Structure 1
Amino acid sequence: MLAVGHACVDVYQGAVASLVPFFVAERAYSYAAVSGIVLAASLLSSVVQPLFGALTDRWAMPWLLPVSTLLGGVGIALAGVSGSYGLTLLFVAISGIGVAAYHPESARIARIASQGSHSAMSWFSTGGNLGFAVAPLMVGAVVATGGLRLTPVLVLPALAACVLCLPVLRELGKRQVAGSAAVAPAGPDDTASFVRLSLAVVCRSVVFVGLSTFISLYATQRMGGSTAAGTAALFVLYLGGAVGSVLGGALAGRWGRVAVSRWSYLITIAAVAGVLVAPGPALYVFVAMTSAGLYVPFSLQVTLGQDYLPSRIGTASGITLGLTVSIGGLASPLVGSLADATSLRTALAPLVVMPVLSWLLFRTLAEPNAPRLGARHGPESRAQGAADTTPVNGSPTQVQVG
């Protein structure tokens, strides 16, 4: 249920980039202007998500799941019918706040439900990636039919996700009433490793946000002006992420999260270069490789962050799922401005450097010796807590879930 709800929420992250070609076509926005829209979705999210993470470390707030989901959907629904560029930025920012509020608490609950399993957390992440993948198809089907005035239809996934949250909240309520398990000691934080991990995620985010913002326009140019070709490229970018997340969880169980992430970033270097130089339909192959390479480490980075900061799981989730990812949106206006001055291919070329930096940063990281589920919450949430001593391969040896 959490994975499907995650898919519904992340539709609205993918929807922002999916709306970019329609803003260009209907409103004649420049590359820099549409980059500003992506920035609006990312900037407030960058600030808000760690704040919500810190709050969930202190108090359990499961009610955030339906409330934040609805906020994310309403923002996107209104962005297309707003009468000005300023209102469009405002509504997209509201959607970004909703998405930001959702992730720390949902990641905390998912970690409890998964009992520390890397594979199970990868499925939770895959739900979000599938939401990304569906976004361009959904936005394309709705907006291409009736223009931006039909964006209110896009609120439907948010309504569905609110309904899906109800069984999760009921189950948590039952555990709170019946459970009495104590939370295990969290253990020491490895702040230095967490900072290096966060920098690696920032570099990954710059690549992904840059490509998701402009790959549709880039593929349209490369394929002779076909908007369908652009939508297909964005779909491949998002769908490859879903495959990569599942693959990452499986590979980490055998070789460890840090080693798998290093190899993924090495592959991504070649894949991004291929996007820039591959002729014709081969472009889609390299888009898929880039997406998989960027998403194999995605859920692994979330659990690594939680294990590097075991006393502040909500904060770690807010930073690895939110702040570092959203910071990638800050680079989008730079890419857009460079594209306006030169060309899209020239503007996208610096993205090749980012996975190189992520790989170098991961070379300085070590696998946590004993991942534990030990976030501390206030009295309201202790009955929902969990204790977990989990080896690197993700198979729990001792789990207590209240």
Structure 2
Amino acid sequence: MPLLSLGHACVDVYQGAVAALVPFFVAERHYTYAAASGIVLAASLLSSVVQPLFGAVTDRRPLPWLLPVSALLAGAGVAAAGLTGGYALTLAAVALGGIGVAAYHPEAVRVARVASRGSHTGMGWFSLGGNLGFATAPLLVAAVVATGGLRASPLLAVPALLGAVLCAVALRALAAPATASGAARTARAAARDDWASFARLSGAVVCRSIVFVGLGAFLALYVRQRTGAGPAAGAAALFVLYLGGAVGTVAGGRLATRFGRLPVVRWSYALTVPAVAGVVLVPGPALYVCVALTSAGLYVPFSLHVTLGQDYLPGRVGTAGGVTLGLAVSVGGLATPVIGAVADATSLQTALLPLIALPALGGLLLRPLKEPAVPDRAGAG
């Protein structure tokens, strides 16, 4: 699990890196808000469409080699984004990185479920790696691009190389992770998939995703506007947003052990409503406190979404992982062009106001859900 978690961190650097690159695209290439949000959309769109397909494929046939290969693909796309001269080529580069991220997650979640024996606490540690990757991305991008400009972006490929090595070593240490016992496969085949509950859960995750991706895409620019500070202030706010996930994800597993997964998820969505309101409306340095609270509200339920989804669809854990950790998360990028267009027409604050209501909508979707029956966690894979 430590190797898988570190590999996850290296791959998810490239989810956080795209949003962190937005201010530099605006500064160096003079993109509008709408054009900059299109960069985030390109990274999210193919990932949104392709990720469940990879999940369906790995449900039929495990493909552990996807882990190191997809890590390299994700890094290559983002590293090339700073070298491309035209807007279309930049979109293509980040889309390539998005495909790498899409290919990685469903199979990685399946392998992590095997390694953790289906524990939501173990899945929390795996998710922690991804959150640390998100948190590191703004700092990495600032260190590389702020000093060398977008032309220094090939240096951003270093985490991909490290991640590929870590994934390969983890797969070898796990000793044939694709193999599950016949009894476990029989149990999963006999279990009933609860698609209605899974759909409600996925809808809530979409609401969370729009808030998270929307803030991630524009928070650095917004903080600079609200505080009057330079690029470092924006990068610091993104760091707070992403790093809070490291604490929130681990806390989510522990809280779920004590209080149950669904109560913890519902409380988290309730907390996120006033926290996002603070981010959008509170002026000055106090905004950072609201960012930290928003991070907690968004991240505490993160790994719990994955295990709940897999338990609602025990016969399709790859598909469940592809949707809860992939489609429903990355689909938030589809909303960023709308936010960017509204910001260009009015103001960035006006464009971010609707994000306050989305966690409340997600909470309403979660209210009727019941804790899923857990078939055979020990052999789940």
Q: TM-score range by the shorter chain?
A: over 0.9
Equivalent-residue separation in structure 1 for 2:150 and 2:62 (angstroms): 38
> Which structure features the higher share of helix residues?
2
Is the contact made by 2:62 and 2:178 (CA closer than 8 Å) also made in structure 1? Answer: no
Matched, 1:362 2:354: no
Q: Secondary structure at the match of 1:182?
A: helix
The letter for the 2-side match of 1:326 is: S
Equivalent-residue separation in structure 1 for 2:177 and 2:368 (angstroms): 40
Is the contact made by 2:20 and 2:138 (CA closer than 8 Å) also made in structure 1? Answer: yes
Residue 315 of structure 1 corresponds to which residue in structure 2? 319
Is the contact made by 1:16 and 1:38 (CA closer than 8 Å) also made in structure 2? Answer: yes
How far did residue 372 of structure 1 move?
Answer: 3.4
Equivalent-residue separation in structure 1 for 2:299 and 2:197 (angstroms): 20
Matched, 1:260 2:264: yes
2:143 to 132, 141, 144: 141
The letter for the 1-side match of 2:346 is: T
Residue 129 of structure 2 corresponds to which residue in structure 1? 127
How far did residue 371 of structure 1 move?
Answer: 4.8
Query: CA offsets per residue over residues 104-125 of structure 1, 9 Å max, x none?
Result: 0000000111111111110100
Distance 1:10 1:344, change over 3 A: same
Aligned pairs for 1:22-101 (under 5 A) are 22-101=24-103
Equivalent-residue separation in structure 2 for 1:204 and 1:31 (angstroms): 22
> Bigger shift: 219-228 or 260-269?
219-228
Count of aligned residue pairs for this structure pair = 376
Equivalent-residue separation in structure 2 for 1:313 and 1:81 (angstroms): 38
Equivalent-residue separation in structure 1 for 2:358 and 2:376 (angstroms): 31
The letter for the 1-side match of 2:57 is: L
Equivalent-residue separation in structure 2 for 1:176 and 1:226 (angstroms): 48
How far did residue 134 of structure 1 move?
Answer: 0.2
1:116 to 93, 115, 118: 118
Matched, 1:209 2:201: no
2:242 to 238, 245, 254: 238
Is the contact made by 2:44 and 2:334 (CA closer than 8 Å) also made in structure 1? Answer: yes
Query: CA offsets per residue over residues 52-95 of structure 1, 9 Å max, x none?
Result: 00000000100000000000000000000001000000000000
Matched, 1:15 2:7: no
How far did residue 223 of structure 1 move?
Answer: 1.3
Is the contact made by 1:73 and 1:158 (CA closer than 8 Å) also made in structure 2? Answer: yes
The letter for the 1-side match of 2:264 is: V
What TM-score do the two structures reach when normalised by structure 1?
0.91
Matched, 1:302 2:306: yes
Matched, 1:387 2:379: yes
What TM-score do the two structures reach when normalised by structure 2?
0.96
Is the contact made by 1:122 and 1:248 (CA closer than 8 Å) also made in structure 2? Answer: yes
The letter for the 1-side match of 2:291 is: V
Is the contact made by 2:171 and 2:177 (CA closer than 8 Å) also made in structure 1? Answer: no
Aligned pairs for 1:335-350 (under 5 A) are 335-350=339-354
Residue 290 of structure 1 corresponds to which residue in structure 2? 294
Residue 332 of structure 2 corresponds to which residue in structure 1? 328
2:282 to 267, 278, 290: 278
Equivalent-residue separation in structure 1 for 2:192 and 2:363 (angstroms): 26
Residue 198 of structure 1 corresponds to which residue in structure 2? 202
Equivalent-residue separation in structure 1 for 2:116 and 2:81 (angstroms): 36
How far did residue 176 of structure 1 move?
Answer: 7.0
Return structure 1 stretches of 4+ with deviation > 3 angstroms. 172-177, 179-182
The letter for the 2-side match of 1:40 is: A
> Bigger shift: 111-120 or 153-162?
111-120
Equivalent-residue separation in structure 1 for 2:48 and 2:178 (angstroms): 31
How far did residue 279 of structure 1 move?
Answer: 2.5
Residue 380 of structure 1 corresponds to which residue in structure 2? none
How far did residue 173 of structure 1 move?
Answer: 4.0
The letter for the 2-side match of 1:65 is: L
How far did residue 387 of structure 1 move?
Answer: 2.2
Q: Secondary structure at the match of 2:34?
A: helix
How far did residue 366 of structure 1 move?
Answer: 0.7
The letter for the 2-side match of 1:53 is: G
Q: Secondary structure at the match of 2:284?
A: coil
Residue 182 of structure 1 corresponds to which residue in structure 2? 183
Query: CA offsets per residue over residues 260-281 of structure 1, 9 Å max, x none?
Result: 0000000000100011122211
Superposed CA RMSD in Å reads 1.4
Equivalent-residue separation in structure 2 for 1:360 and 1:371 (angstroms): 27
How far did residue 243 of structure 1 move?
Answer: 1.1
The letter for the 2-side match of 1:92 is: V
Equivalent-residue separation in structure 1 for 2:366 and 2:279 (angstroms): 24
Equivalent-residue separation in structure 2 for 1:370 and 1:146 (angstroms): 51
Equivalent-residue separation in structure 2 for 1:176 and 1:339 (angstroms): 47
Equivalent-residue separation in structure 2 for 1:235 and 1:27 (angstroms): 24
Residue 396 of structure 1 corresponds to which residue in structure 2? none
Q: Secondary structure at the match of 1:281?
A: helix
Q: Secondary structure at the match of 2:309?
A: helix
Is the contact made by 1:74 and 1:95 (CA closer than 8 Å) also made in structure 2? Answer: yes
How far did residue 180 of structure 1 move?
Answer: 5.8
Distance 1:345 1:175, change over 3 A: closer
Structure 2 runs not aligned, ≥5 long: none
Equivalent-residue separation in structure 1 for 2:9 and 2:248 (angstroms): 15
How far did residue 194 of structure 1 move?
Answer: 0.3
Is the contact made by 1:10 and 1:99 (CA closer than 8 Å) also made in structure 2? Answer: yes
Residue 221 of structure 1 corresponds to which residue in structure 2? 225
How far did residue 225 of structure 1 move?
Answer: 3.8
How far did residue 10 of structure 1 move?
Answer: 0.2
How far did residue 370 of structure 1 move?
Answer: 2.4
Residue 167 of structure 1 corresponds to which residue in structure 2? 169
